[in-house]
């Protein structure tokens, strides 16, 4: 399913932190690990059209963490998802207004917009230069976190969130309220917190609360594939290559290197747990971030000279 290429956020993320074209190491926690936040607020007004958006009145997001998700609108598709859960519990987010916004061509956007952007270029060059130096020094060879670019977002405004359990697994007492069976999405928006209603003959939905504002509840990330290569002839540099800082250390004396970058195809993020293990080596992250900041100072010095 296409929806599995979207990673779901349990409380939503402020839309200003998740703009198309942004780069991050940890897509599960996109505000951490010093991400590059791209400014694409007006992307739908640009010419040529770089992204497309659909409008989804009374939309929903239903998901099981680490298993599957369903982004949609209307009661029919939600009931189909509910039926496919076979009695398993899942989370449900419902809003009066929603929209899925995606880049029309992530590859072209990366080559034509992100790489020429000075801030994005600096972010990529500094981080990849650290990887290049560490490779040459055979340092922390098991620490090479992947880079991801944000290529799609699922927005819901003033979202209500719920927990859905099978009737067999629910220990809560159902409150007798006048809601048709099966419950419609519009009726769900009127449920009070901790009130239970019947979504279908097999499941009970419990209202948990509301988060106001426009937030990103699911995001699609695609991996930025980076291949470090040596190239002595810079006149032949391709548009998808970035020049890295030369390795000038006491231990290593090397010529210039490049990073050849490409965007990988969409992949299943809902059962991809790589992102959840990024915090295991705190010392490596600290060293990596310090080394990156040092190289950024060098890049800033080269730019001002």
Long-range contacts formed by 183-186: CB under 8 A, 24+ apart: 184/75, 185/58, 185/60, 185/74, 185/75, 185/78, 185/94, 186/58
* pLDDT tens-place string over residues 92-133: 999 988 999 999 999 999 999 999 999 999 999 999 999 988
- Give the residue-averaged pLDDT of 166-195: 68
Buried b (16+ CB within 10 A) or exposed e, 109-134: bbbebbbeeeebbbbbbbbbbbbbbb
CA-CA-CA-CA torsion for 126, 224, 10, 97, nearest 10 degrees?
Answer: 110
Q: Which of 149-158, 173-182, 225-234 has the lowest mean pLDDT?
A: 173-182
* pLDDT tens-place string over residues 259-295: 899 999 999 887 665 544 555 688 899 999 999 999 9
Nearest to 147 by CA among 170, 130, 172, 169: 130
Question: Residue 204: how many CB atoms within 10 A of its CB?
Answer: 22
Q: Indicate if the pLDDT at residue 189 is higher than 50.
A: yes
* pLDDT tens-place string over residues 5-16: 899 998 899 999
Confirm if 180 and 187 have CB atoms less than 8 A apart: yes
Confirm if 296 and 122 have CB atoms less than 8 A apart: yes
- Confidence at residue 1, expressed as pLDDT on a 0 to 100 scale: 44
Token pair belonging to 6: 């979207």
Domain spans of the chain, in order of start = 2-304
User: What does pTM read for this prediction?
Assistant: 0.87
Q: How far apart are the first and last CA of the chain?
A: 51
Q: Indicate if the pLDDT at residue 246 is higher than 80.
A: no
Across all residues in the chain, what is the average pLDDT? Answer: 84
Q: Give the confidence band of 231 by pLDDT, cuts at 50, 70, 90.
A: low
Looking at per-residue confidence, does 231 or 54 come out higher? 54
Compute the distance between CA of residue 264 and CA of residue 222 in angstroms, rounded to an integer: 6
Q: Indicate if the pLDDT at residue 25 is higher than 60.
A: yes
Token pair belonging to 181: 């069976």
């Amino acid at each position: 399913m296409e929806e599995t290429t979207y990673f779901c956020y349990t409380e939503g993320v402020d839309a200003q932190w998740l703009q198309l074209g942004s780069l991050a190491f940890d897509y599960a926690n996109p505000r951490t690990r010093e991400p590059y936040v791209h400014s694409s607020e007006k992307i739908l007004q640009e010419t040529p059209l770089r992204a497309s958006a659909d409008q989804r009145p009374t939309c929903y997001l239903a998901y099981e963490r680490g298993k599957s998700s369903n982004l949609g609108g209307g009661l029919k598709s939600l009931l189909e998802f509910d039926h496919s859960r076979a009695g398993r519990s899942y989370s449900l987010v419902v809003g009066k207004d929603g929209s899925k916004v995606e880049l029309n061509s992530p590859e072209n956007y990366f080559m034509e917009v992100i790489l020429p952007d000075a801030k994005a270029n600096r972010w990529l060059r500094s981080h990849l230069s650290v990887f290049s130096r560490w490779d040459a020094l055979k340092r922390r060879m098991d620490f090479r976190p992947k880079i991801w670019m944000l290529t799609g977002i699922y927005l819901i405004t003033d979202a209500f969130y719920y927990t859905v359990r099978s009737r067999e697994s629910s220990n809560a007492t159902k409150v007798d309220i006048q809601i048709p069976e099966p419950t419609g999405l519009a009726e769900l928006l009127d449920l009070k917190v901790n009130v239970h209603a019947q979504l279908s003959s097999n499941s009970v939905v419990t209202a948990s609360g509301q988060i106001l504002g426009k937030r990103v509840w699911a995001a699609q990330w695609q991996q930025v594939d980076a291949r470090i290569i040596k190239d002595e002839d810079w006149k032949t540099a391709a548009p998808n290559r970035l020049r890295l800082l030369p390795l000038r250390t006491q231990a290593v004396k090397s010529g210039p290197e490049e990073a050849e970058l490409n965007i990988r195809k969409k992949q299943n993020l809902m059962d991809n747990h790589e992102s959840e293990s990024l915090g295991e080596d705190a010392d490596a992250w600290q060293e990596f971030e310090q080394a990156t900041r040092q190289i950024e100072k060098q890049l800033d010095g080269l730019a001002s000279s």
